[in-house]
Amino acid sequence: MKKFIFKYVLLIASTLLLGCNESQVTATSSTATANSNQSYPATEYLKHDETYNPEAVIPPQCYTKTNGVNNPCYVCHQTYKENPSRPNVMNDGNLQGAYEFSEVGETNSWQNLFKNRTDIIAKIADQQILSYIEQDNYTPFINTLKNKQDWVGGIHHIKDLEKGAVAFDHQGVAKDNSHWVAFNYKPFPSTFWPTNGSTGDVMIRLPQAFRELNGQYQRDIYFANLALLEMVIKDLSQISVPTLNEKALGLDLNQDGQLTTIDQLKRHAYYFGDAAQIKTTTMLYPENTEFLHTVRYLGVDENGNIHIPKRMKEVRYMKKTLFREPVSLASAYYKEVKEKHFENLPITTNLGDRGIGNGFGWEIQGFIENKNGQLRQQNHEEMTFCNGCHKTVGSTIDQTFSFARKIDGVAGWGYIDLTKMQDVPNKGESQGEYLTYMQRVGGGDEFRQNQEMLAKWFNLDGTVNTQKVLAVDNLYDLIMPSKTRALKLNKAYYSIVQEQSYIFGRDATVLEASNVLTHIDGSQAPLKAEHRFQWDMRLNWQGKQHIAATQVNP
């Protein structure tokens, strides 16, 4: 596709925008220079299929003003050299102590962070936004794709998904026989905390062979393989399972020489059923594993309780179309490190209707609201943003987050429910993950601008009120916003939808962010050595909290 270079167009009369098709760039990179002070609306970039931010893979959170001590970086940037079986060898923990941005990336292009939306929010009535977020935009989206004859990107349909938990049985299996399975996982800190803007859910589906025995669907085989996969991803040796009937299957799943019913399963070298020839590989999903993730507004009922509403901000889909052995992945990581060293701009493979590739075996597809609230396919730059987290981040397990954070075993099968979770510690730690995060960050979000979290869980001197946090017995009470804040965040994001300005940032901020850098000084370290941390996203669901002595000094 022929394109013009947008930074050149900025120098000529805007009326030429409609006819210019001069220069040519690739579909996967751009020489355009991001300019956070530019005056063109995002819709102009969308209209002409031009790149605004060539470094869209750098998330807004990477521009946090840390003051050397406030560290939200550790949950993404990690090095695990002590674990040779871990396929993720990005080993980017050093980024807690060094900015390694390209020259383009040194300028913060996420201009929506610096927009005060107070006046815009005031013009949107509460009832207007409440009515909007409870409208179903998922079913019309699915119907549109089904009627689109030239669509080749797949249709990711779960009947009644807009209704949330209603679409699944008590163990998370979709009632429509699509074999999608919902699981209860701990939201990643802290962008995915509802208090910071969104609710959501995640579902997994394994390939057909993992669901069948002798060509026939067997629920017990499916759950045995799901459990085995969970052990593989979390590197566990045993896990609880829904009651499985070995006699009915004719398989000795737990290898004790008897055919009985079992509720515990030990790790195996191979999967079960028709997938019995496929080896398990530590911390890697099998080929053709699928994930479906919906990002939603903050539902508010008549009593002010927060729930997952019908309307979806985004529908995100990942499919592992190519299984790469650890040695092959190591080569891919090395290539990424080398490209970053030479400050090459990121290249994202455009797969058309199928979205983008991340270079590590996964295809990523994303849909987002258009101005009318209907879900549309994201353009290339909007999709490139996804690779910022699902490509070369040191803390991920096979480029994913949520499944490694599922409640262990049988208790974790079912639609997400924060009231059933406590703030358990991360693997290798003793204090609750969210409490630890707030202490290390000095706030309830990366930018330390969530005033409600600061007022609710922090002392006047800026330290966390540890005892108050420890007194909370579920995550709902810890990270859900008030009705007032939920409405403001919904309205703020709705204004971004109206602008279609996702390339300027998707964070639903009410006020202009103050703890954010507009430009990176690469000569300064993001964090002092004593404020850099080792961390593992996996959780110790059997662990009890113990209070750590350290806090960020404000």
SS (H, E, C) 283-298: CECCCCCEEEEEEECC
Residue 187 pLDDT? 98
Q: What is the pLDDT of residue 551?
A: 58
Which residue bears the tokens 């592992």?
Answer: 320
Taking each helix axis from N to C end, the angle separating 126-133 and 483-499, rounded to the nearest 10 degrees, works out to: 70
Return the pLDDT at 341: 74
Determine, yes or no, domain membership for 389: yes
pLDDT score for 282? 98
**191 found inside a domain:** yes
CA angle 182, 365, 178 (to 5 degrees): 35
Residue 12: pLDDT above 60?
no
Q: What is the mean pLDDT of the chain?
A: 92
Residues 355/358/363/364 CA torsion (nearest 10 deg): -50
Q: Which residues pair with 264 in a beta bridge?
A: 240
Burial letters for 139-167: b for 16+ Cβ neighbours within 10 Å, e otherwise?
eebbeebeeeeeeebeebbbebbbebbeb
| CA separation for the pair 274, 335 (Å, rounded) | 36
Which tokens sit at 333? 């990581």
User: Are 71 and 24 contacting, i.e. CB atoms less than 8 angstroms apart?
Assistant: no
Check residue 6 and give its pLDDT. 38
Residue pair 433/189 in contact (Cβ under 8 Å)? The answer is yes
Instruction: Give me 451's structure tokens.
Output: 């005033």
Phi, psi for 58 (deg, rounded to 5): -85, 110
- Is 462 inside a domain boundary? yes
Per-residue pLDDT, averaged over 335-358, amounts to 89
Give the model's pLDDT for residue 402. Answer: 98
**With 50 as the cut, is the pLDDT of residue 208 above it?**
yes
Q: Contact 77/92 with Cβ under 8 angstroms?
A: yes
Predicted local confidence at residue 546, as pLDDT = 52
Asked if residue 190 is part of any domain, the answer here is: yes
**How does DSSP assign 130-198, residue by residue?**
HHHHTS--HHHHHHHHHT-TT--S-----TTGGGGGGGB-TTSBBTTSS--EEB-BPPPTTTTSGGGT-
Q: Which of 108, 77, 110 has the alpha carbon at shortest distance from 91?
A: 77
**pLDDT tens digit string along 265-312?**
999 999 999 999 999 999 999 999 999 999 999 999 999 999 999 999
pLDDT-based confidence at 14, cuts 50/70/90?
very low
Separation CA 56–CA 50 (nearest Å): 13
Residue 20: band (very low, low, confident or very high) from pLDDT cuts 50, 70, 90 = very low
287 backbone dihedrals φ, ψ, rounded to 5°: -60, 140
- Tell me how far apart the alpha carbons of residues 457 and 438 are, in angstroms, rounded to a whole number: 9
Confidence of residue 255 (pLDDT cuts 50, 70, 90): very high
Residue 12 within a domain: no
The residue among 4, 84, 77, 72 whose CA lies nearest residue 44 is 4
Which pairing describes strands 349-350 and 356-357: parallel, antiparallel, or unpaired? antiparallel
The mean pLDDT value for 471-495 works out to 98
Residue 339 has a pLDDT of 82
- Better-scored residue on pLDDT, 66 or 28: 66
At residue 360 the predicted structure's pLDDT band, cuts being 50, 70 and 90, is: very high
| Partner residues linked to 425 by β-bridges | 432
The kind and range of the H/E element at 300 are strand 299-300
Residue 195 has pLDDT above 70, yes or no: yes
Asked if residue 4 is part of any domain, the answer here is no
Q: Which amino acid is at 99?
A: Y
Q: Which residues lie below 8 Å from residue 311, measured CB to CB, with a gap of 6+? A: 132, 133, 134, 135, 136, 137, 162, 296, 297, 373
Distance separating alpha carbons of residues 180 and 206, to the nearest angstrom:
8
The pLDDT-based confidence of 517 (bands split at 50, 70, 90) is: very high
Residue 33 lies in a domain: no
Query: Mean pLDDT over residues 417-430, rounded?
Result: 97
Q: Please give the share of the chain, as a percent, with pLDDT higher than 70.
A: 91
DSSP string, 451-512: HHHHHHHB-TTSSB-HHHHHT--SHHHHHPPPHHHHHHHHHHHHHHHHHT-GGG-----SS-
Question: How much is the average pLDDT of 226-250?
Answer: 98
Whether residue 244 lies inside any domain: the answer is no
DSSP 416: -
Residue 190: asked if its preceding bond is cis (omega within 30°), the reply is yes
Give the per-residue pLDDT at 545. 60
Averaged pLDDT, 404-410: 98
CA-closest candidate to residue 220, choices 280, 262, 283 = 262
pLDDT of 547: 55
Residue 37's pLDDT is 47
The pair of three-digit structure tokens given for residue 23, joined into one six-digit string:
């220069």
pLDDT confidence tier of residue 13, bands split at 50, 70 and 90: very low
Residue 31: pLDDT band by 50, 70, 90 thresholds? very low
Give the pLDDT mean for 137-156.
Answer: 97
Look at residue 552 in the predicted model and tell me its pLDDT: 58
Tally the domains of the chain: 1
H or E element at residue 313? strand 312-320
Query: What pLDDT was estimated at residue 305?
Result: 98
- Residue 360 has φ and ψ, to the nearest 5°, of -125, 20
What is the domain range of residue 58?
44-207+287-531
